[in-house]
Structure 1
Amino acid sequence: MRLSFLEPLYRQPGPFASVYLDTSRDRAVEDPDAAVELRWRHLRDALLAEGADQDSVTALARMVGCDTDVPGAHGQAVFTAHGRPALLDELPAPPARDTAHYGPLPDTMPLVVQHAPGIAYLAVHIHYGGRHSTDATGTVRVDAEAGVWPLTKVTPGHRLHEEIPVADWLHAAEVIGRELEGHARRIDTEAVVVAGDVWARGILVNRLPASLRGQVTPVEGAGESQPGRALLEHRLESLFSGRMAAHDRTLLDAFLAQKARDGASAEGLPAAVSALQRGRVKALFLNNHPESTLRLWVGPEPGQLAVTEEELRSYGVRDVREERADAALTRALVGTRAELVVVPEQQLQLREGVGVLLRYADPASPG
């Protein structure tokens, strides 16, 4: 996963106020807006106790809960710097718990994890309930969405809607197939999920360009999607659960291959820190452990991080402080334009939850 969406945030100087809040409004509460406001007040008090300035708290208050048009369960990640809005992002799922942090580095790892796995896909739902013949009356209705999972839960992708007379379906399916191929190329689609009437969808699938036909996964019983949410959301949830994006899987395979031959890869926090210090990390692999208490010492620049204060000062860095390891690692990844791959532990357990694939092999390494 490329972290370029965080670059504008890190271009701003700290300190930062970081807030993660459940802003769902479909819960069984009498006044959901009041519930969101109450949760925000608890976080506001926590920020003030951590030393946040009033301007930052006021800027947060203007952004928190502004997602009234987003249906279903979701959340917000909100950041300010020096009393000004720095970043607002809708979360595909509510945070595990509401949190607020004020400090020199933004708390971005929970946001990054919610962007994973970042699978580009096409979802197609074909509605037809008539006789399975092109001389029947009625229409075939096609809904399609090109998106990136799971962000389309809260940020809908490009939508296509067509209604075609059954008599024209054979020809129209070919035209729609070419249109879908165009959308697929723009987002580098790796999955085409098709639901709906078996006869009508079979005609479409058989007329898709060859580049898409091999990516098709038919699903049953998709039902109607909630307005404002991802098309076929519940089926996509089941299909993509525990799955990695193809690009991330390629990086992980390279990491495992180099690890097997003791080449340009490493595991554990000290090894990851050492590689980030030298700007050598191509991708960092992470088992998500939000409860982790690991900490690192950091300086003002992204590559200024170390396991101990003494090590960082030995490099001539004077302005040092201790921070959460995940916050320090994320800043270093963004600053060096390295990628992050969230790896489910059932696929691979990493030492201290961290591994790195290097941009080039160490000349001193064997092989």
Structure 2
Amino acid sequence: MYLDTSQDTAGAARAVEARWFAARDALADAGCDPLTVHALDDAVHDHHPPVPGRHGLALFATAGEVIMRQALPEPPAAIVAYDPLPHAMPMIVQLARDAEDDAAPDQFEDGLAEVVGHLSRGEVETLLLIDDPSSTERLWIGPDPLQLSDDPEVLNRAGIRHPPLVRADAAILRALTAAEGSIRLVDPAGHHHLRGGVAALLRYADVRR
């Protein structure tokens, strides 16, 4: 979940509390267990002195435990997600470096299906990504972070029955982290040639098509 924790007005503390109450109710309505909601409540009210200015907080929790608490330099949109994988892209957008314009189009593989294939084999050194919060792309995943595909039959053949369907960016980030790859966000105005808004710089030259 993402929370605007800004302390830039006289009523900021009450506003943060109201935003947290709304997020808490949304989590409960989505089926989040009470222990996890309680853990998030503790993380929001961590008793540190409020920091003046505009900022935010990203919180990731599961099974009654907050596994990551990340301060954000800018107030985030009010996002609450209760899914098999964390919705980390809004955090990445604020923290990741923008891609440098030093890679020629023929140096990377682009297209969602192509990039997913390389990710599943651990071949991606650097992921180039155009952030698109409105994207409806989904991928099927298995228990191993490198098990992801745009075709559930691929996972079925690997012995994974009824694989969950998740946000594509969440599955991609999970696989990239497992393979110790890096991510660079790219400006859509300068990288309109990226098919599917995603591309991969590969570790091994001999795996390029």
TM-score calculated relative to the size of structure 1: 0.54
CA 1:43 to 1:364, structure 2 compared with 1: closer, same or farther past 3 Å? closer
Match of 1:38 in 2: 18
Measure how far apart 1:314 and its partner are: 2.2
Pairing 1:358–2:166 present = no
User: 1:113, 1:342 within 8 Å by CA — same for their partners in 2?
Assistant: yes
In structure 2, what is the equivalent of residue 253 of structure 1? 102
CA distance in 1, matches of 2:195, 2:140: 20
Map 1:225-244 → 2, pairs under 5 A: 244=98
Q: What's 1:24 paired with?
A: 6
Change (3 A) 1:364 1:288: closer
**Matched-pair contact (CA < 8 Å) for 1:23–1:65:** no
- 2:169 is aligned to 326
Q: Distance in 2 between matches of 1:253 and 1:364?
A: 19
Q: By percentage of residues, which structure has more strand?
A: 1
C-alpha contact 1:60 1:78 (8 A) present in aligned 2? yes
Contact 2:7–2:50 under 8 Å retained in 1: no
Are 1:316 and 2:159 counterparts? yes
Partner residue, 2:69: 88
For residues 1-367 of structure 1, what are the structure 2 equivalents within 5 Å? 19-27=1-9, 30-64=10-44, 66=46, 68-95=49-76, 97-117=77-97, 244=98, 248-249=99-100, 253-254=102-103, 256=104, 259-260=105-106, 265-318=108-161, 320-349=163-192, 350-362=194-206, 365=209
Q: Give the conservation status (yes or no) of the 8 Å contact 1:267–1:354.
A: yes
Mapped to 2, the partners of 1:42 and 1:87 lie a distance apart of 21
State TM-score, norm by structure 2. 0.92
- Look at both structures and tell me which one has the larger radius of gyration over its CA atoms: 1
Distance 1:313 1:361 in 2: 30
- Which has the higher relative contact order, 1 or 2, with Cα contacts under 8 A spaced 6 or more apart? 2
Cα distance, 1:354 vs structure 2:
0.4
**Aligned residue for 1:223?**
none
Secondary structure of 1:101's counterpart equals: coil
Gaps of 5+ in 1: 1-18, 118-243
1:325/1:26 CA distance change after superposition, 3 Å:
same
The letter for the 1-side match of 2:195 is R
Offset from partner CA, 1:100-158 (integer Å, 9 cap, x none) = 111221111111111022xxxxxxxxxxxxxxxxxxxxxxxxxxxxxxxxxxxxxxxxx
Note the aligned Cα RMSD (angstroms): 1.8
Could you tell me which runs of 5 or more consecutive residues in structure 2 were left unpaired when the two chains were aligned. none
Where 2:82 maps in the other structure, the secondary structure is: strand
CA contact (8 A) 1:265 1:357 kept: yes
Decide whether the 8 Å contact of 1:282 with 1:338 is kept in 2: yes
Q: Secondary structure at the match of 2:42?
A: helix
Calculate percent identity across the aligned residue pairs.
Answer: 42
| CA contact 1:36–1:65 (8 Å) conserved in 2 | no
Q: How much has 1:31 moved relative to structure 2?
A: 2.2
Q: Per the alignment, in what secondary structure is the counterpart of residue 99 of structure 1?
A: coil
Q: Which letter does structure 1 place at the counterpart of 2:3?
A: L
Per the TM alignment, residue 65 of structure 1 is displaced from its structure 2 partner at its CA by: 5.0
Classify 1:68/1:290 alpha carbon distance in 2 versus 1 (closer, same or farther; 3 Å). farther
